[in-house]
Amino acid sequence: MLTFDHGKKINSLSNFGFQFIGVVIKDKKYIYVNAFLVKTPQDLFTKYKEWKNNPIIVCKGGKSFWGILFDCENEKFSQLEINDNA
C-alpha cells in the first residue's frame, strides 16, 4: 500500500499499467507517472492499444486512474492525484 499526504492511498500496484514522462517544473526535474487499471493483459491490446504512444486520459475513473510526480533529485514521490469517482 502507498499512502501519501492527506490520507490518499493506493492499495496495490498490481493490475496497473504505467506511463512515464520527464518534466521540468521551476528548473527541477521530475518523472510524471500516469497509472491506469489493466484488468487483463489483453487490455493492453484492445482497450489501451495506443498506450505506448498516447497518454491514457480518463475523467471520473476513481482509484483505477491516478498520477504522481517523482522528484529525481530527492528521490521522493509527491502530488498523488486520484481521479474523481464516477
pLDDT digits (tens, 9 = 90+) for 16-61: 999 999 999 999 999 999 999 999 999 999 999 999 999 998 877 7
Residue 78's nearest CA partner among 43, 39, 31 is 31
Give strand ranges (E) for 26-75.
28-37, 65-71
d(CA 23, CA 72): 10
Looking at residue 5, its pLDDT comes to 57
Buried residues in 60-77 as b, exposed as e (16+ CB within 10 A): ebeebbbbbbbeeeeeee
Enter the pTM of the model.
Answer: 0.84
The number of domains in the chain is 1
Query: In the structure grid, which three cell numbers stand for residue 5, read together?
Result: 499526504
Domain hosting 10: range is: 2-82
